[in-house]
């Protein structure tokens, strides 16, 4: 299978994140942020070729053929609210990022991850692994069929809860645009209490991580639908002529 997408010239200008967008640490109630986050000042390195480039053909290494998390095998459907999640990967110029590798992972409907580290006393779903990987198309689109994840308590002293959320990992054509983020569901009161979402100082930045629900008719019967665009760092120093 060699359907090499004609990738555009990737962005070559990377401004620092504007204020308010990046999470502030340490996060109260999240002890690992106090013990893991570097304490010494970060050194701002010049952007040379290693920083501005990245793997172009990563889909050859990472199979990008897993878009249905809800159906493990014929007849083996995960428990939970069947959900269709789609959107676009864009750069800061609003240009679609084509051929980006998009990874999604999440807890099951009971709020438990299929991972040996998650030993919480909540049921595992034998029909749900909870991870998928696709490659964006010509318009930068991705789409997954999944189930809506459950909320879960964070196992620390003075427990707090994570609202339902989905993890995204996006590998675009530049190391500088590598992004790992999370997506939240609209209208959930727990979003406003979430310590991780609230580590973003700018309310608008928090809002940009909350998906928008779309009319189920758009995906036919059986699925509720959410749309969520993700913007990677980077713009083009020389914009294309209009």
Contacts (CB under 8 A) with another protein, residues 88-107: 90-95, 103, 105, 107
Q: Is 22 exposed, middle or buried (0-12, 13-18, 19+ CB in 10 A)?
A: middle
Residue of 102, 176, 210, 225 interacting with another protein (CB under 8 A) = 176
| Residue 84 among the catalytic residues | no
| Secondary structure of residue 34 in the 3-state scheme | helix
CA 144 to chain centre: 12
Describe the strand order of the beta sheet including 179-184 as a list of residue ranges. Answer: 131-135, 101-105, 165-171, 179-184
Q: Is residue 205 within the footprint of another protein (CB under 8 A)? A: yes
Q: Is residue 122 within the footprint of another protein (CB under 8 A)? A: no
- Spatial contact of 177 and 234, defined as CB atoms under 8 Å apart: yes
- Decide whether 131 or 141 has the Cβ nearer to another protein: 131
Identify the CA nearest to 231 among candidates 4, 11, 25. Answer: 11
| Residue 233 among the catalytic residues | no
Q: Which one of 73-81, 137-145, 177-185, 211-219 is the stretch in contact with another protein (CB under 8 A)?
A: 177-185
Residue of 4, 17, 186, 203 interacting with another protein (CB under 8 A) = 17
DSSP H/E element including 58 = helix 58-61
Q: Which one of 5-13, 74-82, 142-150, 214-222 is the stretch in contact with another protein (CB under 8 A)?
A: 5-13
Give the binding-site size for another protein (rule: CB under 8 A). 92
Q: Exactly one of 84, 113, 142, 184 is catalytic; which is it?
A: 113
Q: Tokens 């609202």, residue?
A: 163
| Residue 167 among the catalytic residues | yes
Cα distance between residue 124 and residue 104, in whole Å: 18
Q: Exactly one of 88, 152, 206, 228 is catalytic; which is it?
A: 152
Q: In this structure, what token pair is assigned to residue 141?
A: 């689109």
The 39-78 site mask, x for binding another protein (CB under 8 A), equals xx-xxxxxxxxxxxxxxxxx-xxxx---------------
| Residue 113 among the catalytic residues | yes
In order of 26, 123, 154, 162, the CA distances from 225 in angstroms are 34, 25, 27, 21
The 124-163 site mask, x for binding another protein (CB under 8 A), equals -----xxx-x------------------------------
Q: Exactly one of 13, 141, 167, 195 is catalytic; which is it?
A: 167
| Residue 235 among the catalytic residues | no
Q: In this structure, what token pair is assigned to residue 241?
A: 């002529």
Least separation in angstroms between CB 205 and another protein? 5
Write out the catalytic residue numbers.
Answer: 113, 152, 162, 165, 167
């Amino acid at each position: 299978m060699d359907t090499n997408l004609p990738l555009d010239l990737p962005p070559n200008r990377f401004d620092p994140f504007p204020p308010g967008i990046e999470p502030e640490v340490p996060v109260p109630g999240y002890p690992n942020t106090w013990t893991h986050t570097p304490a010494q000042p970060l050194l701002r390195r010049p952007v040379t070729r290693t920083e501005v480039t990245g793997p172009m053909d990563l889909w050859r290494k990472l199979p990008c053929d897993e878009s249905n998390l809800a159906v493990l095998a014929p007849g083996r459907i995960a428990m939970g609210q069947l959900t269709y999640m789609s959107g676009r990967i864009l750069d800061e110029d609003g240009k679609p990022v084509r051929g980006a590798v998009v990874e999604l992972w999440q807890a099951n409907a009971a709020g438990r991850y299929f991972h040996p580290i998650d030993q919480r006393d909540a049921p595992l779903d034998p029909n749900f692994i909870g991870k998928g990987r696709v490659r964006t198309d010509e318009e930068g689109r991705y789409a997954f069929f999944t189930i809506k994840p459950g909320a879960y308590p964070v196992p620390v002293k003075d427990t707090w809860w994570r609202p339902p959320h989905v993890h995204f990992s996006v590998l675009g054509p530049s190391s500088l645009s590598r992004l790992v983020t999370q997506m939240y569901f609209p209208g959930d009161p727990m979003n406003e209490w979430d310590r991780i979402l609230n580590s973003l100082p700018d309310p608008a930045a928090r809002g940009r991580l909350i998906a928008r629900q779309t009319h189920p008719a758009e995906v036919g019967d059986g699925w509720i639908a959410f749309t969520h665009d993700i913007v990677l760092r980077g713009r083009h120093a020389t914009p294309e002529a209009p």
